[in-house]
Structure 1
């Protein structure tokens, strides 16, 4: 029995060394690269409300989406400018247009309400910079076939902030990041 236990332990340790280690393993014919373990998708973002103060007043230029192996992504293109853009992102039981309070139906198992502290028009000229219409899907955004995103609705651009309703499959973990003039909202595929 002792030999079987020792042999099993040796096999387990050898397996850990092959899968879990970094670098290269020696083979009879020379160094061989080890297979890296598959990266697991993080779900540590949580589903609680996330927000940040406004430091940038550039107008919204565009909203795009993309699919990734672990999450679906929505990107608000604001353009470069000093400071970060403020935001307030969280799940709501119903989506109501900012200003009027009118309820806007959003499909999916949960609704993520996104406020970006930037208008969809140029404050100096009043010229529209993003063509979203209240209660309508986001222009140019097609989420057909997405794993997590199920619906998008433009809420309003009111008092210097833009409001979007994002219908998702369920109340899933999400994160908010900023990079190079973009506000990025990622919603995980799983918990």
Structure 2
């Protein structure tokens, strides 16, 4: 008879321990900053009439951000192809556009950096350093790969192949604030 209460006590303690362990979240399995983006290509196809007007970058707590300012006739934008590649090639010539970092992110926008008359709407002062990203956690270099036949390509050198997300922000109708393409790259997995 003394064995039965002892056995029940052991079973009760085992069950209580199992419940307590199951209730504790597995922090090693939690995504970094809640980021669940992945590193596969991000592609959207839409008919747009936008032009590239500017490129800028910013730092956030969990990711680095590249923003491409667009302008034209629409307040929306949705035609891009952003993906990791072994090497980004220059538009038109096909020459390699090497960038610093362990991974190359190719950014192709179906938006030229020139207007319908061939006048530049955006021309970087330095094709090798379109935006100063010195000291950023993830970004290493932003290089211009050209604007040719209605598309613009840039090379974004990053520290490693990390999660990336891409989305467009709408512009404001009847203003100088056009849509923006946003590319975020996480600081880590």
Q: TM-score with structure 1 length normalisation?
A: 0.75
Q: Compute the displacement of 1:134 (Å).
A: 8.5
Question: Aligned runs of 1:13-52 on 2, under 5 Å?
Answer: 41-52=33-44
Q: Does 1:171 align with 2:161?
A: yes
Question: Aligned runs of 1:1-191 on 2, under 5 Å?
Answer: 41-79=33-71, 81-123=74-116, 125-132=117-124, 135-138=127-130, 141-180=131-170, 181-191=179-189
Q: Distance in 2 between matches of 1:156 and 1:54?
A: 21
What's 2:27 paired with? none
Whether contact under 8 Å (1:135, 1:153) holds in the other structure is yes
Structure 1, gaps ≥5 residues long = 17-38
Q: Distance in 1 between matches of 2:47 and 2:126?
A: 26
Q: Compute the displacement of 1:40 (Å).
A: 5.3
Q: Distance in 2 between matches of 1:136 and 1:148?
A: 17
Change (3 A) 1:98 1:134: farther
Whether contact under 8 Å (1:149, 1:166) holds in the other structure is yes
Whether contact under 8 Å (1:61, 1:130) holds in the other structure is yes
Q: CA RMSD in A?
A: 2.8
Q: Compute the displacement of 1:82 (Å).
A: 4.7
Whether contact under 8 Å (2:68, 2:181) holds in the other structure is yes
The number of residue pairs the alignment matches comes to 165
Whether contact under 8 Å (1:134, 1:156) holds in the other structure is no
Change (3 A) 1:52 1:70: same
Q: TM-score with structure 2 length normalisation?
A: 0.76
Higher helix fraction (1 or 2)? 2
Q: Distance in 1 between matches of 2:95 and 2:156?
A: 16
Task: Report SS of the residue matched to 1:41.
Answer: helix
Structure 2, gaps ≥5 residues long = 1-5, 24-30, 171-178
Which stretches of structure 1, 4 residues or more, deviate above 2 A after TM superposition?
82-85, 132-136
